[in-house]
Amino acid sequence: MTGKLYIVGVGPGHHDHMTFRAKEVISESDTIVGYETYVNLVQDLIGGKTIHRYAMTQEVERAHQCIDLAKSGKIVSLVSSGDPGIYGMAGLIYETLAATGWVPSDELKVEIIPGVSALNSCASIVGSPLMTDFAVVSMSDLMVPWEIIQKRVESAAQGDFVLVIYNPKSKKRIHQLQDTQKILLKHRKPTTPVAIIKSAYRESEAIVMTDLENLLNFDEELGMTSTVIIGNSSTYTYKDLMINPRGYKSKYNLHEQTNPNLKV
C-alpha cells in the first residue's frame, strides 16, 4: 500500500491567508512533517495526528522521511511557510525522488499545494512595490556561491528591477547585505525607497520604511524572518506606502482625470 505526499505552503503564517486547499490536505493527512517553526504555525489544525518536527538544518532528513512514510502507506503533509516551490522543500523532494528513478506515474503520488510567498505577503503590507518587473535573490550562500549571488544582484541593479531580498541577514551572515547595498548604490539613488518587513502576518510583525542609504541602520529588523524590498528608479513613497507605477499615468493622464466614473 502506498500513501500520498503533499508538499504544503501554509502562507505567511496567519490562517486567514492560508489557501482552502492547504487546510483541506492538512486535515486529510494522518502525518505532519516540518521544520518546528512551520509546524507551530498550523498547531491548532493538526491535533490527533502523528507529528515529526525537525531543526532548520535537517532538510535532507525531512525529505527522506516524508518519502519513506508515504511509501509505507501514510498520507503525509510536509509543511513549509510561504510557497514550497520558492526557496522551499519542493525542489529537494523532487531531487530526492529523481535520484531513485521515480516518475510521476508511479504508485507514490506527490502534490504541491501552492501557498503565499513572502514576496506576495510583504508587498501587500507595504503597498504596491511589485507592479513592474522584479527580481528575487536570497542572501544565503550555503548553496549558491557568494560570487554568483553578487552577479545576480549586479544584473538586477543594471536592469532596473525592483529587488526582493530573502534571508537578508543572520548571526553569521553580515557582509552580504552590506555588499549588496554597495552594488545597488552604484546604480540607484541613495533615496531609493526600501521596505523591511519582519515576520509578516505573525504576532511579531514589524515594518520599517526607509531608503537605500539607511538600509543597514535597522539591525533588529533584519534577520532570517525578514524580507527586504528595494525599489527601482520609478518607485516612490506616499504616506508610508511604497508604490511602483504600472504605467497608467502616462496612458490615461491620471492626474488630469477628475471624472470619478471613468473606466480604465
DSSP secondary structure, 25-93, as one string? HHHH-SEEEEEHHHHHHTGGG-TTSEEEEE-TT-HHHHHHHHHHHHHTT-EEEEEESB-TTSSSSHHHH
Tally of CA atoms within 13 A in the half-sphere of 124 that contains its CB: 9
Can you tell me the distance from the alpha carbon of 195 to that of 91, in angstroms, rounded to the nearest whole number? 28
Average pLDDT (75-79) is: 95
Write down the number of H helices and E strands in the chain.
8, 13
CA dist., res. 50 & res. 34, Å (int): 12
4: β partners: 75, 109
CA atoms of 141 and 136, how far apart (whole Å): 14
Among 2-6, 136-140, 199-203, the range of highest mean pLDDT: 136-140
Residue 173 contacts residue 138 (beta carbons within 8 Å): no
pLDDT at 42: 86
Among 52-66, 81-95, 171-185, whose mean pLDDT is lowest?
Answer: 52-66
Task: Give the per-residue pLDDT at 263.
Answer: 45
Cβ burial 23-52 (10 Å sphere, 16+ → b, else e): bebbeebebbbbbeebbebbeebbeeeebb
> Quick one: CA dihedral 40, 138, 223, 195, positive or negative?
negative
pLDDT in the model for residue 262: 44
**82 vs 15, residue with greater confidence:** 82
- Confirm if 141 and 171 have CB atoms less than 8 A apart: no
Average pLDDT, the chain: 90
For range 107-134, the mean pLDDT: 95
DSSP string, 177-233: HHHHHHHHHTTS-TT-EEEEEESTTSTT-EEEEEEGGGGGG-GGG-STTEEEEE--T
